[in-house]
Chain A
Amino acid sequence: MMARKLPAKDVVIIGLGWTGSILAYELASAGLDVIAIERGPWRDTATDFPPSYSPDELRYAIRLDLFLRPEQDTLTIRNNLSQTALPIRHFVSFLPGNGVGGAGVHWNGQTWRFLPTDFRLRSHLEQRYGKAALPEDMTIQDWPVSYDELEPYYDRFEKLCGTSGKAGNLRGEKQPGGNPFEGWRSSEYPTPPLKQTLGPTLFAEAARKLGHSPFPQPASNLSEAYTNPLGLRIGQCTYCGFCERFGCGNYSKSSPQVCVLPALMRLPNFSAQTECEVTRINLDSAGKRATGVTYVDTSGEEWEQPANIVLVCAYALFNVRMLLLSGIGKPYDGQSGQGVVGRNYAYQTTSSVGVILKDKILNPFIATGAHGMMIDDYNGDNFDHSGLGFVGGGYMGAGQTNARPIQTRPVPRGTPKWGTQWKKATAETYQRGFSLSTHGSSYSYRDCYLDLDPTYKDRFGRPLMRMTFDFHENELKMSAYLTDRLAEIARAMDPVEITANPRKGPYNVNIYQTTHNTGGTVMGADPATSVVNRFCQSWDVHNVFVPGGASVFPQNHGYNPTNTVGALAYWTADAIRQRYLKNPGPLA
């Protein structure tokens, strides 16, 4: 049956999470007629995650009630090209969001900027260490945008969120108490740092003793009430310990629900359509211009939504799939290394050090997604990599996100998994045990990519996306080095016991790591190695933009992605408003 055609809009947005809501607000404010089509349900604080039942570990953290259901969409996974990819039937390693707000509902609020050198990664490393220092199959590349260009947009996203933190570099001047390694900031954080519990405080003391520079992690769980530039009020965080995997019942974790939607929904020229899944972006007969999108509603009926501009604002992985299914850009072929869509998929190389202290009362349940004390001494190229045999790095430290007891019950090494001894150790260690972590980079490689699976299909019969990914020696060495440094600090905390867990290969989809999937629609200066140009505009179809989803990252750096995602959303919105609308066509 033919899809029924709806009246045309100026802009159609696929997905109403952080990037979709920011772009919608910016473009609808400029007078454009905007519709966002979201495949999940509408969600708001009062209805879907009020304090009365939001703190429910089983429902949200274990049964994953707010996340994408694999029956709706998932992907297949293999570690290398010789394996047969099999479907992820139940998400564990990473947890894609679903519904209005997207991953902005369930994130932890860690709001980091990338380092200035991260944006010119390949040139910087080749200049400092020589071309031979990089593995031949490593496909890292410079970003097509500099830190200096992006700084005002980081600033805008942080002000949208009201991020709590302490600047370490204000317009080039080092600031005591902040991160001495960060890029320059045009202004102080919108709100002061969160208060620290005992665990992070002890970590910071130990790190300082060893000559490191600890600082409070930048957090979008707010230290005090704040009104953002859209006039929306964000509440003070109560340290409830139900952030990641949960919606915030206090309006104090920044999210599209709290920071954008109440203002956006008042704009009469914006509308949201929920529980409708876009199945493809439609192109004109020459394949050079998008004519709109086709979507399917919950009854299975197909609709065509014509539009002049199509914004691909789904979760990073599904941005890649949308372009592959729509035939936009040349698909990447892992055998030949040719093509671009799906190329340079990367992840995050995390590790931890478990610490058990003597006679301490940590009250570990007093927590937020992003409070904590960190050091950045071993991130990016903040330290000399000469002779280390790897490049890259990450931040590390003590961030107590929760101590919800189904998942968080530290016990000494060698404790049985059940029975009398297990129970005794569980009771005795809960207040004294916690975990330090490293958050390492994941550089891109020729054999780590996304394409369409030859076997498995979704409910509409479309191929699932296939992920081919494993950790490479560079990342495993980096993780071992960082974890050793973290263990040194842990030893300085006078522990009873520490357990270092550096990241080990192969990549295991059954172990939770992070929901930081990057790349696949990489931004770049050269169409031979990128899918979108420096304004996140498709090289092939000029009225299609991928405005800042982490799919545009050329590789992943040693930080959480959301701040960069938000900054790029504003960057793209400005490019569309100030350049594209005046002269629709390729911007680069």
Chain B
Amino acid sequence: MTATSISRRALLASAASIVVTSVSANARIITGAMPWSPSAANPPRPWRPGPWQFFTADEAATVEAAVDRLIPPDEHGVGGKDAGCAVFIDRQLAGPYGRAEGLYMRPPFMAGAATQGNQSPDAPAALYRAGLRSLADHVKANFGGASFAALSPQDQDAVLSGLEKGSIELKNINSADFFNLLLQNAQEGYFADPIYGGNRDMAGWKLVGFPGTRYDYRDWVERHNEPYPLPPVAITGRADWTVR
């Protein structure tokens, strides 16, 4: 999600009024004015439609089924699957988040008190791979060889609930930790800007009435108890603004 520094280099090179002295290739001195030029930007990277980037087909089927139980389709709106939560998680795991980029990942890794925070040596992508494999094994052994996606919604809920409570134990991974990661990422997908592949048609924002990226509410601050009248807008605008 971090943009490259290409725009920054271009910006520094193009700003004629600024003195930019290089004492080496990487030590840059800025003086004389703000180093700004038109069109320089650090925008987000939108998701791209297409095949799964991280999940195998089986993993994707499990995650799609799970997010649709965590956030079920009902009269309040679409479920996690149709909102794109599994796609969102797939793209996140294939990117910097999945690799734990930017985090402190130096050894030694030691188990500590809960107050000391996450000490796992595994990045989210590795946690998913291990968790989904163990979950598949558990379901296969306990439901006559079936996959999670093939279970009834009631059985899927029972499995998810068992993970949440820790009453189902998974090999190689703490089941409650894995459940919490999945729930956190599913909800991120449901409520994040649609630019990352989830929250399709702004379903999550419509569920609660969040207007998204409107960025200016000055005329409504003191209109207490009145519903905000405008529908949500995302970073890329609204679907109905686009010619199909």
List the interface of chain A (C-beta within 8 A of B).
6, 35, 41-42, 44, 46-48, 50-59, 62-63, 65, 69-71, 74, 77-79, 83-90, 92, 195-198, 201, 236, 238-242, 249-250, 261-262, 265-266, 268, 270-276, 297-299, 301, 303, 360-361, 363, 365-366, 403-406, 409, 417-420, 423-424, 426-427, 430-431, 455-457, 506-510
Contacts and interface: CB of A to CB of B under 8 A. Distances in A.
16 contacts: A47-B36, A55-B235, A56-B195, A71-B105, A236-B218, A271-B29, A301-B26, A361-B225, A365-B211, A405-B208, A419-B72, A430-B208, A506-B115, A508-B114, A510-B114, A510-B116
A471 to B, nearest CB: 11
Interface in B222-240: 222-228, 235
Interface in B99-134: 101-106, 108, 110, 112-119
Report the contact-size class of chain B (Cβ under 8 Å from the partner).
35 or more
A89 B211 contact: no
A227 to B, nearest CB: 18
Interface stretch (B57-65, B139-147, B186-194): B186-194
Contact of A423 (B43, B74, B105): B74
A86 B116 CA distance: 7
Contact of A83 (B36, B76, B113, B222): B113
Contact of A198 (B116, B164, B224): B224
B164 to A, nearest CB: 7
A54 to B, nearest CB: 8
A509 B116 contact: yes
Given A365-B210, A409-B208, A240 B217 contact: yes
A9 to B, nearest CB: 11
A403 B23 CA distance: 46
B52 interface: no
A506 B53 CA distance: 41
Interface string B199-228: 000001101111111111110111111111
Nearest to A83: B113
Contact of B30 (A55, A77, A271, A427): A271
Contacts of B114: 508, 510
Contacts of B191: 57, 405-406, 409
B181 interface: no
Contacts of B214: 240
B217 A366 contact: yes
Nearest to B157: A419
B11 interface: yes
Contact of A427 (B34, B110, B196, B207): B207
A462 to B, nearest CB: 12
Contacts of B116: 77-78, 83, 85-86, 509-510
A265 B31 contact: yes
B135 interface: no
**5 closest Cβ contacts across the A-B interface?**
A70-B104, A271-B31, A69-B102, A430-B208, A58-B192
A179 B119 CA distance: 44
B74 A360 contact: no
A351 B233 CA distance: 33
B34 A86 contact: no
Nearest to A79: B115
A266 B18 CA distance: 10
Given A47-B8, A77-B115, 18 more contacts: A47-B41, A59-B1, A63-B1, A83-B112, A86-B119, A89-B119, A198-B225, A238-B218, A240-B216, A262-B34, A275-B28, A363-B228, A366-B217, A366-B228, A427-B77, A427-B208, A508-B114, A509-B117
